[in-house]
Structure 1
Amino acid sequence: MTLRALFDLPAPAKLNLFLHVIGRRADGYHLLQSPFVLIDWCDTLHLERRVDGRVQRHDIGATLPDDDLCLRAARLLQAEASQPLGVDITIEKRLPWGAGLGGGSSDAATVLLGLNQLWGLHWPRTRLATLGASLGADVPFFIGGQDAFVEGIGERLRPLQLPRQWYAVVKPPTPLPTAQIFTHPALTRDTEAVIVEGSLDDACRQMDWAGGQGRNDLQPVAESLCPEVAQAARWLEARFGNSRMTGSGSAVFARAGTGDVPVATFPQAELPAGWEGRMCRGLGRHPLADWAD
């Protein structure tokens, strides 16, 4: 049966348990090491097949830029696959922009995974990930289907098995453009690389990445550009005893326990005006992990 539409496709956010900048390539791209984990704070996308070849986007809630990653992903896949069909993309945007949660990259990955089904392409995951890498460094992770230890400029993924945790996540109102962080002269770019030999799972247990080892090398620069990042970190520290910025910010998270319930409920009533926040659960696997390969 030919698919005509796919509704309620999740595009989950990610957290960087730590983010180390270990060098810089000659072309200016930074070399990173970071454990990425998927969480259950998601955008929702709806894809409807078009027979006229047009690719259009419709926004529910926040208005996205005219040429966002969703449209670019769909048009790129359409061109690479010589696909005569088009698509209407409707997006319910729940993830905040400029948060370091990977929202735009996750949306693009969900579009690629969804269109792989809707257009009957049946491309393998590796081919979709290669295409996704040309859209953004985080896109291959979301196509990869599970938590991962990410290296290089984001293209090297090693599957990661960590205990599923709860995370309290807050986002101050000020967004932080990624380029502004990575081009800042004060950014640390020479953190010693983590050498993982043998089993990555064994390294996880020894290093306790989920328990707070490592740091985010981008956080000091982010705090200098946006004092609210430091304020959010202190806010979480006071309530959960730990905090760390994710990605290039400005969202900050705290570990809030394992098991069926978090160690505490999210103090929604205490959020400063204009902040967004919620208690999130680690997913381990992407909800659409089986939509490739």
Structure 2
Amino acid sequence: MSATAWPAPAKLNLFLHVNGRRPDGYHELQTLFIFLEHGDTLHVEVLDGSLELTLSPALPGVPDEENLIIRAARMLQARLPSPKGARITLTKRLPMGGGIGGGSSDAATTLVALNELWHAGLDTEALAAMGVALGADVPVFVRGVAAFAEGVGEKLQPVTLPERWYLVVKPDCHVATAAIFKDPDLPRNTPKMGLQDLLAGEWKNDCEGLVKKRHPEVANALGWLLEYAPSRMTGTGACVFAAFEDESLAREVLAKLPDGLAGFVAKGVNISPLANTLQQVREGVAAGLTIG
């Protein structure tokens, strides 16, 4: 048995454009991902010679067959030449339905951690390909590098972005991604652009107007945050965010957060905490150390 703590970081979509709907029902997107030094933590205990997979605490209302952590573990487990299992303990900090990648990040961390701890031997590309079946955002978390994404989110181009401080605000509501993309009022006609033009242009989120209409809590949170800094929604919501040049300015605004809103301040980073942890674990193994 071995136990190791693995981060499942949050992400932000610095912009999100919906370019059209494909014949299969999925949407063509262009978006820009950056990671945050804030997220969930998975504590993994490996079980050799056993196929047992457990997650604690269980997520309310989410059975194992729908839980992305268990689904990711089972997908990887099916690739192993000999039985191995795991007991996973989740420290949950990222809200569900927040648009900051909680479930997708947890799934990616499960794949990366168990691939390493089970000695499955899959490379990053293979893990990312597995991740697409779990969710469009899973591959970017698996790769662990800030990226420009196209397609349904699976076509990734690494980028290097300014590492600013972000204030993320979560209104008291849950936004269902599937419902937003099924809504006939969602704008789906933003022209595709080259990356350099996108980086130089005005950043926006095509889902923001619809989400504000369906969820007044998001509109209210964004209205409050806009009083202090340029602000947008991330993903399909519900979280909204603003960038600051230093931590102290972000925390000054966080201290003014109205009742009914939750929030946190975190640094945006180009290399995810998960990628850094994987490197540390591999360096520790090479040096004969135990990392826990």
1:10 aligns with 2:7: yes
Q: From 243, 259, 263, give the equivalent of 1:277.
A: 263
- Distance (Å, rounded) in 2 between the aligned partners of 1:14 and 1:115: 21
- Give the corresponding residue for 1:24: 21
- Give the corresponding residue for 2:285: none
1:45 aligns with 2:34: no
- SS of 1:21's equivalent in the other structure is strand
Note the C-alpha offset of 1:101. Answer: 0.4
Do the aligned residues in 1 keep the contact of 2:165 with 2:250 (CA within 8 Å)?
A: no
Q: From 178, 202, 207, give the equivalent of 2:199.
A: 207
- SS of 1:18's equivalent in the other structure is strand
Note the C-alpha offset of 1:63. Answer: 4.1
- Give the corresponding residue for 1:224: 213
Do the aligned residues in 2 keep the contact of 1:6 with 1:47 (CA within 8 Å)?
A: yes
TM-score by length of 2: 0.89
Do the aligned residues in 2 keep the contact of 1:20 with 1:215 (CA within 8 Å)?
A: yes
| 1:147–1:6 CA distance, 2 compared to 1 (3 A) | farther
- Distance (Å, rounded) in 1 between the aligned partners of 2:220 and 2:85: 45
1:182 aligns with 2:181: yes
* Alpha-carbon displacement from aligned partner over 1:216-253 (angstroms, at most 9, x marks no partner): 000111001101111111111112x2110000000000
Counterpart residue type for residue 289 of structure 1: A
- SS of 1:107's equivalent in the other structure is helix
Do the aligned residues in 1 keep the contact of 2:56 with 2:89 (CA within 8 Å)?
A: yes
- SS of 1:265's equivalent in the other structure is helix
Counterpart residue type for residue 46 of structure 1: H
- Distance (Å, rounded) in 1 between the aligned partners of 2:61 and 2:158: 32
Q: From 44, 52, 55, give the equivalent of 2:53.
A: 55
Do the aligned residues in 1 keep the contact of 2:99 with 2:235 (CA within 8 Å)?
A: yes
Do the aligned residues in 2 keep the contact of 1:266 with 1:278 (CA within 8 Å)?
A: no
- SS of 1:17's equivalent in the other structure is strand
TM-score by length of 1: 0.89
Q: From 274, 289, 292, give the equivalent of 1:288.
A: 274
Aligned residues: 276
* Alpha-carbon displacement from aligned partner over 1:113-166 (angstroms, at most 9, x marks no partner): 100111011210000000011111000010011100011001100001011011
- Distance (Å, rounded) in 1 between the aligned partners of 2:61 and 2:268: 27
Give ranges in structure 1 of 5+ residues lacking alignment.
197-202
- Distance (Å, rounded) in 1 between the aligned partners of 2:80 and 2:139: 18
Give ranges in structure 2 of 5+ residues lacking alignment.
283-292
| 1:85–1:266 CA distance, 2 compared to 1 (3 A) | farther
Do the aligned residues in 2 keep the contact of 1:73 with 1:111 (CA within 8 Å)?
A: yes
C-alpha root-mean-square deviation of aligned residues, in Å?
Answer: 2.0
Percentage of identical aligned residues = 45
Counterpart residue type for residue 226 of structure 2: E
- Distance (Å, rounded) in 2 between the aligned partners of 1:14 and 1:244: 14
Note the C-alpha offset of 1:83. Answer: 4.5
- Distance (Å, rounded) in 1 between the aligned partners of 2:36 and 2:82: 32
Q: Aligned ranges for residues 249-288 of structure 1 at < 5 Å? A: 249-257=237-245, 261-288=247-274
- Distance (Å, rounded) in 2 between the aligned partners of 1:89 and 1:178: 26
